[in-house]
Structure 1
Amino acid sequence: MANDIITLRDALRHTAGRSAVSVGLTVVLTLSLCLLQFGPDPDAVVRVSFVTKSSLLISTIISGLLTAALSFRSALTMRELALTRAELQRISGTDQLTGLLNRRGFDQAAEAALTKARGGNLPTTVLMCDIDRFKAINDQFGHDFGDKVLISIAEVLRSFAERRQMLVARHGGEEFAVLMTGVSKERAAQYAEELRQACAAEAVLREGASTNVTISIGLAESHAGMDLAKVMRLADQALYAAKHRGRNRVVRADVLADSIAA
């Protein structure tokens, strides 16, 4: 197996083994074809031209068979490597606890979505969501329960995003990010409020009892020429304002900017 080749010695041993198999197959195929062409009698008289033509035919057949076998083996190895590379890429962009995209996976997918939205002149909105008082939850109930909270909120976000074809990720710690395209500013704010309510209604079980957890959300819309980092920063500022104003609420970056200006 290609996965067993790790050191130079492994590569040399693998090559030697394949060479031995190739030589053995060549000998076997040559003897078999010679017996078919010339018969089993070693004293039989055979014309030189017949021997020459037969030798060329045998060489061609053996070469074709070995080339096909080696090509097939190479194709299997390339397929295995491609699948392994794809799996490694998937793992590198996935949060292992929740199964959502991680920050790296989200940034890559969001950049592509933002570029596509710009090409179609579609609005793009980012939500930054943070679980309220998560540190206190960990301190009071332990990290295992904290993980349950993360998984539970992630499932609400996943279900919500899948129904509306949105990108969703665990952006880090207890923070989640959502990106939506082709949705008006008003509709995006409505979605954010629905998401906040859905998370608040989700009960997380703890020792036979259930606990409700809330989230705060900051919302920012990407304007012409605004890159992903900028809109994420605006959404993060709006999230901070939502936390500062009492948590369990949605704050829009544009409304926040208006209130600051006033």
Structure 2
Amino acid sequence: ELPRRIHRTFKTEDICVIGISSSSDRLLSARFLKAGARDFIYRPYVVEELQCRIDSHIQALSQMRQLRMAAFHDYLTGLFNRRYFYDNGPAVIEKCLLRGRSCCLAVLDIDFFKHINDTYGHHVGDEVLKRIGKLMVASAKVIGAMVVRLGGEEFGLLLPGMDIHAARAFCEALRLDVAKDRLIVEEKEISVTVSIGLVEVGEWQYFHHYITAADECLYLAKHAGRNCIYSKSRMAVKFDEGLGI
């Protein structure tokens, strides 16, 4: 029972349970392992053997964390990746719907990113991707939003607790932050803009339906001239940074 209680409290990848007993019941180890323990050793034991087993399990836990990190994170930006979005996004939306809270999903794309790669080189494009990722994380941290790199120059945002109006205001602030930012790479000053497609979750659907809807809004934002936000209801007003509005 003890291993089961431990695993109900801690994640499997965060802890390793090793049973130690002086019992004469030789089936105890099997019951302990079936209950979720990683290892079992009877007393009396050799201290060096126990230490070797502990070291081995610590190494296994470390490798498991590294594999999990690689599986769910983008190697370039350090953000969560598409797989993480699809695996964990539905649970966030479901929780919002069950609690009667609003939730929005946005897809962000860097404008003319191919031109940046062709003009300055892919290494500069990589720096732009990392910079955009950092700006998104800094903004999202305040509200507890999920930020992911979907692939290429496309990013995803899941905004729990935000209706379409609050989400549009958040995305507009992010769009302005990106437009005002200047990246210095090899003595070159580079500025970029982003287009954003935004949808509000109204009812439960398959997760990829929300992403498809946001992608469609993103396409409309691109078609409208880029550097703007498009949602189901209407396009967000584009502000002129030069006028300081």
TM-score, scaled to structure 1: 0.69
CA distance in 1, matches of 2:184, 2:116: 13
The one-letter amino acid of 2:112's match is R
Give runs of aligned pairs for residues 7-86 of structure 1, distance below 5 A: 64-66=43-45, 70-71=49-50, 73-86=52-65
CA RMSD after TM alignment: 1.8
- With over 3 angstroms needed to count, the CA separation of the structure-2 counterparts of 1:65 and 1:180, relative to structure 1, is same
Equivalent in 169, 188, 191 of residue 212 of structure 1: 191
Post-superposition CA distance 1:154-208 (Å, at most 9, x none) = 1111111112210001110000001011112111111111111011111111332
Match of 1:183 in 2: 162
Which structure 1 residue ranges, 5 or more long, are not aligned?
Answer: 1-62, 257-262
CA distance in 1, matches of 2:81, 2:131: 16
Q: Is the 8 A contact 1:167 1:180 kept in 2?
A: yes
Post-superposition CA distance 1:215-237 (Å, at most 9, x none) = 00000111112231111110000
Match of 1:223 in 2: 202
Correspondence 1:200 to 2:186: no
- In terms of Rg, which structure is larger? 1
The one-letter amino acid of 1:161's match is A
Equivalent in 203, 208, 219 of residue 240 of structure 1: 219
The one-letter amino acid of 1:231's match is Y
The one-letter amino acid of 1:228's match is F
Q: How many residues align?
A: 194
CA distance in 2, matches of 1:118, 1:227: 13
CA distance in 1, matches of 2:100, 2:69: 30
Q: Is the 8 A contact 2:163 2:200 kept in 1?
A: no
Identity %: 31
Match of 2:142 in 1: 163
Q: Is the 8 A contact 1:152 1:202 kept in 2?
A: no
The structure richer in helix per residue is 1
Post-superposition CA distance 1:27-55 (Å, at most 9, x none) = xxxxxxxxxxxxxxxxxxxxxxxxxxxxx
